[in-house]
């Protein structure tokens, strides 16, 4: 009997995979992207644990310093004992901080796979509870920004592509370039100063009362409070998106098929919206994942400056306090949303453009 070569054994083992890829290319592509996303999240979490390990001190040192220099300082006649070295070592062992960072990471990962995100090392509250109280606020703010940027970018981009070369088009292109290059943190600070000086808008981005107390009043108050942060996110994102859509429309309008449609007597607005506009969707769908990632990363500064109770501000506070469980859960969740957005953009791109067929040569 002829001995099977190792390469042949590998091909036999991979044959079901190739057959499945041929029969369902899009499904296999999605599964491959999900697997890649899981690997990237794993590597990201390991890197975060390693970077937190390089930071000087840890949560136990911070607790000891709070006892020494905190508000509850030692007073004459007050019997208050500072944690000694043995207590510090016991506390580190209790929290698992005496182990290498990769061991800590695998312990955290095993808990996450069982549905337990752990507890905050500072507040001792469940991390899942802290995240649940902030997720909706951040997702709502970023989705509102994305919808506004998308709508106005398409409307203005398509309109000004019909005015190419005019003074109005040059002015809009110039201002779009300025907005694209303008530092986002400076715009947030200027809007914060505008709200403080004029008093037309609150300097905070969230109402001072809960939604359950007065739902209707809360909705209008929320829109009033969040107007300036939304304006900052909108101005920061529309510049690049508007320029991209305008450039794509101009490129499509110069294609031979547009000349053919015009020769057949088809109306200009029908050419714009039924033909050229559809082909501008592809680059936008591809870039929307990067736009969403930019919004989430930019919301960190936004939430700090405008005191918005979102995940960005929660992560900022957790980093300052070196609360590793809360930091890692925040980063992993936001990274998951961004990577999921990239996968969804690829899937939508395949559904919108019939020319794209993943897995077929």
Q: Which residue has the tokens 């008093």?
A: 199
What integer pLDDT is reported at residue 359 of this predicted model?
A: 54
Helices (H), the chain: 6-23, 25-54, 59-69, 85-95, 101-113, 127-161, 167-181, 184-198, 215-253, 256-263, 268-271, 277-279, 281-305, 311-320, 324-352
Which of 295, 165, 306 is closest to 227 using CA atoms? 306
Q: Quick check: 73 pLDDT over 50?
A: no
Q: Alpha-carbon distance 162 to 271, whole Å?
A: 11
Asked if residue 199 lies in contact with residue 224, where contact means CB atoms within 8 angstroms, the answer is no
CATH tag for 137-307 (out of 1.10.3720.10, 2.40.290.10, 1.10.150.120, 3.40.50.300): 1.10.3720.10
What integer pLDDT is reported at residue 356 of this predicted model?
A: 63
Give the pLDDT confidence of 159-168 residue by residue, as tens digits.
888 887 788 8
What integer pLDDT is reported at residue 49 of this predicted model?
A: 77
Asked if residue 343 lies in contact with residue 33, where contact means CB atoms within 8 angstroms, the answer is yes
Give the pLDDT confidence of 142-189 residue by residue, as tens digits.
888 888 888 898 888 888 888 877 888 888 888 888 888 888 888 889
Q: Alpha-carbon distance 358 to 206, whole Å?
A: 44
Q: What percent of the chain has pLDDT over 90?
A: 3
Higher pLDDT, 132 or 287: 132
What integer pLDDT is reported at residue 84 of this predicted model?
A: 60
Q: Alpha-carbon distance 82 to 232, whole Å?
A: 47
Give the pLDDT confidence of 13-30 residue by residue, as tens digits.
666 666 666 676 767 777
DSSP string, 17-82: HHHHHHH-HHHHHHHHHHHHHHHHHHHHHHHHHHHHHHSSS-HHHHHHHHHHHSSS---TT-----
Higher pLDDT, 265 or 297: 265
Which of 19, 58, 64, 66 is closest to 323 using CA atoms? 58
Q: Which residue has the tokens 């300082």?
A: 73
Q: Quick check: 60 pLDDT over 60?
A: no
Q: What are the angstrom distances between the C-alpha of 167 and each of 2, 153, 164?
A: 79, 19, 9
Average pLDDT value over all residues in the chain? 77
Give the pLDDT confidence of 220-264 residue by residue, as tens digits.
999 999 999 889 888 888 888 888 888 888 888 888 888 888 888
Confidence label for 91 from pLDDT (cuts 50, 70 and 90): low
Q: Alpha-carbon distance 50 to 54, whole Å?
A: 7
Q: Alpha-carbon distance 170 to 168, whole Å?
A: 5
Q: Which residue has the tokens 């969804």?
A: 344
Buried-state track 134-153, b at ≥16 Cβ within 10 A, e below 16: bbebbeebbebbbebbbeeb
Q: Give this prediction's pTM.
A: 0.72
Show me where the domains of the chain are located.
137-307
Q: What are the angstrom distances between the C-alpha of 346 and each of 296, 335, 342, 356, 359?
A: 19, 17, 6, 10, 13
Q: Which residue has the tokens 């779009």?
A: 176
Most confident of 73-77, 89-93, 305-309, 322-326: 305-309
What integer pLDDT is reported at residue 80 of this predicted model?
A: 43
What integer pLDDT is reported at residue 303 of this predicted model?
A: 85
**CA dihedral for 210, 211, 217, 219, sign (positive or negative):** positive
Identify the bridge partners of residue 119 per DSSP, sorted by sequence position.
126
């Amino acid at each position: 009997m002829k001995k099977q070569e190792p390469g042949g054994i590998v091909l036999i083992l991979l044959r079901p995979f190739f057959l499945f890829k041929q029969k369902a290319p899009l499904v296999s592509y999605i599964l491959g992207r999900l697997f890649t996303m899981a690997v990237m999240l794993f590597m990201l979490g390991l890197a975060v644990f390693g970077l937190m390990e390089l930071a000087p001190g840890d949560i136990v040192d911070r607790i000891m310093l709070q006892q020494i220099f905190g508000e509850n300082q030692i007073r004459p006649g007050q019997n208050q004992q500072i944690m000694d070295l043995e207590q510090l070592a016991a506390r580190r062992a209790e929290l698992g901080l005496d182990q290498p960072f990769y061991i800590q990471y695998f312990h955290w990962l095993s808990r996450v796979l069982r549905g337990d995100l752990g507890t905050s090392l500072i507040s001792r509250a469940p991390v899942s509870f802290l995240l649940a109280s902030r997720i909706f606020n951040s997702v709502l703010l970023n989705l509102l920004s994305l919808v506004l940027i998308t709508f106005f970018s398409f409307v203005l981009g398509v309109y000004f592509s019909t005015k190419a070369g005019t003074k109005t088009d040059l002015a809009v292109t110039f201002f779009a370039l300025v907005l694209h290059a303008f530092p986002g943190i400076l715009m947030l600070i200027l809007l914060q100063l505008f709200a403080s000086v004029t008093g037309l808008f609150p300097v905070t981005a969230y109402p001072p009362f809960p939604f359950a107390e007065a739902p209707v009043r809360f909705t209008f108050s929320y829109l009033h409070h969040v107007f300036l942060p939304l304006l900052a996110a909108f101005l920061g994102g529309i510049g690049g998106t508007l320029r991209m859509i305008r450039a794509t429309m101009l490129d499509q309008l110069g294609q031979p098929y547009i000349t053919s449609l015009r020769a057949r007597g088809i109306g200009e607005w029908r050419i714009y919206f039924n033909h050229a506009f559809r082909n501008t969707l592809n680059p936008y769908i591809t870039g929307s994942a990067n736009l969403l990632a930019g919004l989430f990363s930019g919301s960190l500064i936004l939430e700090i400056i405008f005191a918005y109770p979102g995940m960005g501000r929660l992560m900022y506070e957790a980093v300052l306090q070196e609360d590793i469980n809360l930091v890692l859960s925040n980063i992993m969740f936001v990274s998951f949303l961004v990577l999921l957005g990239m996968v969804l953009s690829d899937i939508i791109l395949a559904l919108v453009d019939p020319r794209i067929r993943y897995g077929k040569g």
